[in-house]
A and B are shown apart, each in its own frame.
Chain A
Amino acid sequence: MAFSLFGIIAVVLEFLRPLLPLIIALLAADIVITGWLWASKRRSWQRGRHAALWLGGLVAALAFFLAPWLTSASFSDFSGVLDWGSVLAGSITAGLLAALLSWPLTTLAFGKRSGA
């Protein structure tokens, strides 16, 4: 049975529904911080990006190793490219999202310019 793009988005939104308040709060914080950083020009986005990428990498690694446990399974249940590819793709996606969402925060925390 084919799933349309809207159908897939509807399922993802239902999946995220319990987390929506948290996601909205995080996005709102990101927007506010981004606005402040934009106006102040006292922070280096690049320095913040390095920290965000490190955090994203950590989240990706954690997601990879914890995925079986989080799903009441173990690595011994994995079989073939489908399972390994899925956990890898899922972990990378989680890492990228974590990096993206944390970028304004890490810029705020670690992006102070020397002399600023």
Chain B
Amino acid sequence: MSDHDPGRHASTQVDDGRRRLLKAIGLGSGLAVVSGGALLSTPAQALRTSARIVIVGAGAAGVAAANRLARALDGARITIIDSRQRHLYQPGLTLVATGIWKPSKVIDSNARYLPRSIDWLQDSVAEFDPEASRVLTASGRSVDYDYLLVTTGLKVDYDAVAGMHPDLIGREGIACVYDTPEHAERSWSMIDEYVGSGGVGLFTRGPGGIKCAGAPLKVAMLTEDLARERGSRQSLQMVYNSPGDGLFSQPDMDQFLKREFPDRGIRINWHHRLIGIEPELRRASFATPEGTQRIDYDFIHVVPPMRAPDALARSPLAWQDGPFAADGDWLEVDQFSMQHRRYPNVFGAGDCVGTPIGKTAASVKAQVPVAVNNLIDALRDREMKASYNGYTSCPLITGRGRGILVEFDYALNMVPSFPFINPYREHWVPWVMKDRMLLPAYNAMLRGRI
């Protein structure tokens, strides 16, 4: 048979093609096996224990911790207490409030993420009794624990702004991106109206520790960007009211924003803390070093102060004095180990903890493994080694289609996860991450995979 035999030639071609296809299928199968492993993997040796572990709060931190503990422990009685059925992807609220996402995109259910092996007590905690290692629920149940993980989240303190009530969001030019998709959606109707009609727009920020401290800045910049896109920018007088003398805790970003806002025609009032609003008059009151100042507005983005939920705030678990007590009665934890400083069988994670920085989903991603691993080490009676470095992240969206991926730690040093992304420059990639990738990453975190 010659080399020019058409039959052989065809056969060689077919085999070559098949071989390539099989290689591709092989690679795909390998990836599928690895992927399946990622979804189904469990630790090689789960710790056998009969410990009673109670998690208070089924937000991001609580659900992620429940999944990690359920996989790491064998025989433990894990109970999570929360009456909420809905799970909200709160990092997406900024996008809902600026008309980029539909509210349904941030609404999920806790039942989809909570492991079946744990007990879900659909109730709320009314009282913490750490001396007796017990919590009391609103319905009167008493739940004893050996270890407690506090992940209650925080409370948006609307009452701290006189005249403000959540029902006002979406009326009289009042917006507030925080808390629920309903608030965010109603805020979008106000922003949309303001960009169309123009006038004075006041953007505020609550003092102290607030959830996603970049959100008030993002709302201001996205509103400005929208007005520019619609050609109505000239009719908007935008004023950002900072309660202090900075815009952002990370100094490089602070400098960037202090240039960016004036460049975009957004005036900044320093030391202007919102203390009240008169919705009918569309007038806001600010505490300033010169006394109370009243400013008329057509639109206002209200960002109230935030604090620990009442049950936690009035419990012995809260900081009893110092800046974290004054700021919001936050949970007293060691900022590195996430263990309570006075009650060693109590740990905390998420928005409720009193640490120098945090209160973002990215912080939760970093804090939960530390709290869980240290709790497990405590169970084993071993030295706790895991340490939280203060990692937090803010995809600082400066306009539709661009942003800066800011990641920093307790020392306020930039700690980029992806060295190829410049944390000092606007790019399209951080926007894509915010718009497309962070929700899947958040869901993977809830499942305890990252």
Contacts and interface: CB of A to CB of B under 8 A. Distances in A.
B429 A3 contact: no
A72 B401 contact: yes
A83 B429 contact: yes
Contacts of A83: 427-429
Interface in B15-69: 16-18, 20-21, 24-25, 28, 31, 34-35, 37-39, 41
B24 A100 contact: yes
B450 interface: yes
Interface string B359-394: 000100110000000000000000000000001010
A82 B13 contact: no
Given A3-B417, A72-B401, A100-B24, A14 B431 contact: no
Interface in A22-65: 27, 31, 34, 38, 41, 44-46, 48-49
Contacts of B18: 38, 45
Interface stretch (B75-83, B245-253, B441-449): B441-449
A103 B23 CA distance: 13
B258 interface: no
Nearest to B31: A9
A82 B431 CA distance: 12
A79 B428 contact: yes
Nearest to A6: B38
B138 interface: no
A76 B447 CA distance: 37
B425 interface: yes
Contacts of B21: 34, 45, 103-104
B386 to A, nearest CB: 14
Interface residues of B, number: 51
Interface string B414-450: 0101001110011111011001110011011001011
Contacts of B400: 72-73, 77
A48 B249 CA distance: 57
B10 interface: yes
A14 B401 contact: no
B407 interface: yes
Interface in B235-282: none
A15 B37 CA distance: 17
Contacts of A41: 14
Given A45-B21, A72-B400, A82-B421, A10 B447 contact: yes
Contacts of A6: 34, 37-38, 41, 449
B428 A45 contact: no
A89 to B, nearest CB: 11
B121 interface: no
Nearest to B434: A71
Contact of A45 (B14, B425, B427, B443): B14
Contacts of B426: 79
B402 interface: yes
B427 A13 contact: no
Nearest to A104: B21
A15 B347 CA distance: 31
Contacts of A1: 362, 365-366, 391, 393, 407, 415, 417
14 contacts: A1-B391, A15-B440, A27-B28, A41-B14, A44-B10, A44-B14, A46-B13, A68-B401, A71-B431, A72-B435, A77-B428, A79-B428, A86-B428, A86-B432
